[in-house]
Structure 1
């Protein structure tokens, strides 16, 4: 089977390309910005990347054209696909059809922390011998690639952005997870969402796809997620919270930060401390990401103590408080944070 990907150099679509190659498919692609390092990484997989969106890129005719969500009507390649009646689909729909069917899907959603928590969860399952597949919106340092086919389990970063110009539903409605993490919920993506109600509506569609035999992990307290759940939920829920020493909570899972910078914490289940973690990451937001990942992995059968041990060897995704270099007593970090809440969490971690 030959697929051609429009917008192949985006992180998500490049991950789709990698998965398709692992499935033995012939993959080609086009992008307006086909340059290193992504073009070189794709070339190393035997994937031809063409610059721009020309109709002749679709000759010979592929069996299916996978259209990225940055593509719009008026794009020459898109217009050619429609004019010639070529078979096409979105990236999330392709993933669901060719990779996720028959798998135990663990999806990590929310406004912040998706990429980091997805990488943590994949690493926990890897250390537990599950050999998971995964698709992450970044490059996890433990794996050095953004996607892998894997075996029975598949961990996916569940993005609320829309699927394609012809499918304005959020990507994550295609994934049908058995285990769902909702890490947090805030207003974001003002280019496609008018208000919080519009975002909650898409997350409610996601919640409706999780089976009664599944599990939803969510922070508590969180007023926005409370409103989301008030719309209806048919799946068992477990809650998690992060605290400082002396705080108490009735959440199912609790992480107590034991070092001011977040580089150490204790894990409690139902109020009983069961493990501790010392790791190279900093920031209370990363402790919360870890807690969500531990709880999700437990649903897939991984002992929480084993999960904690694996996190001590976890290396974060690139551009997440990544140290670029040190000169004298000055350390330079690179961080992806762009939402005000994420920027605040990053700065708090460094103070």
Structure 2
């Protein structure tokens, strides 16, 4: 499968790209801010990065466009689309999905998902939990909203180990919205068997009441 990721240099979408590449998919992507650490990680994995959201990328004809939540249907002051590629995808009727939906269907299905949620400390706790499970010989998969120094990569698939019935997968369960066409929190898609809730405060007043 060839997937083209819009917003690929975000920490979540960059991790998703790494997982897709490890799974054997062809991965390309675009963003308006192609910079380290995610750009370095993606280029090291052989993922082609395109600067900007030009409509000409429709010609790549991927099997699926994966849309990050940075993308919207907003227009600039002169009335032109802020994300021309998204408008081209919609006009052409090309297949698209959100990052969390793709992850749930292509990676998390069949795995024991451990989701780390909360207002503060998700990235640190997710990294620590993955490292503890790694030290226990359980070879977890993970997706972290950063690049942990002890792993050197933000995401990996992991493997079945330690007598587990299904592979473990640790994920940073972000409460922010999924995409402009799916305003549910990302973690709604993950369906974890184990949940870690660090803390809970009102946050993201731009999308929550």
Q: Same fold (TM over 0.5)?
A: yes
Alignment partner of 1:188 is 2:196: no
8 A Cα contact 2:13 2:99, kept in partner: yes
Per the alignment, residue 16 of structure 1 pairs with: 16
Per the alignment, residue 134 of structure 2 pairs with: 126
- State how far apart, in whole Å, the 2-side matches of 1:96 and 1:80 are: 26
Per the alignment, residue 28 of structure 2 pairs with: 28
- From 184, 198, 204, the equivalent of 1:169 is 184
Q: List alignment gaps of at least 5 residues for structure 2.
A: 74-80, 160-166
Per the alignment, residue 160 of structure 1 pairs with: 175
Q: Which protein, 1 or 2, shows the higher relative CO under an 8 Å CA cutoff with sep ≥ 6? A: 2
- State how far apart, in whole Å, the 2-side matches of 1:117 and 1:34 are: 27
Taking a change above 3 Å as real, the CA distance of residues 138 and 81 of structure 1, as seen in their structure-2 partners, is same
Give every structure 1 segment of 4 or more consecutive aligned residues whose post-TM-superposition deviation is greater than 3 Å: none
Whose Rg is larger? 1
Task: Give deviations 1:229-259, integer Å, cap 9, x for gaps.
Answer: xxxxxxxxxxxxxxxxxxxxxxxxxxxxxxx
8 A Cα contact 2:41 2:153, kept in partner: no
- State how far apart, in whole Å, the 2-side matches of 1:39 and 1:142 are: 19
8 A Cα contact 2:126 2:170, kept in partner: yes
8 A Cα contact 1:4 1:58, kept in partner: no
Task: Give deviations 1:41-98, integer Å, cap 9, x for gaps.
Answer: 2111111100000111221200000000010013201101100011111111111001
- From 112, 119, 131, the equivalent of 1:111 is 119
- State how far apart, in whole Å, the 1-side matches of 2:2 and 2:56 are: 15
Per the alignment, residue 62 of structure 1 pairs with: 62
Per the alignment, residue 92 of structure 2 pairs with: 84
Q: List alignment gaps of at least 5 residues for structure 1.
A: 195-351
Tell me the matched-pair count: 194
The secondary structure found in structure 2 opposite 1:59 is helix
Cα RMSD for the two superposed structures: 0.9
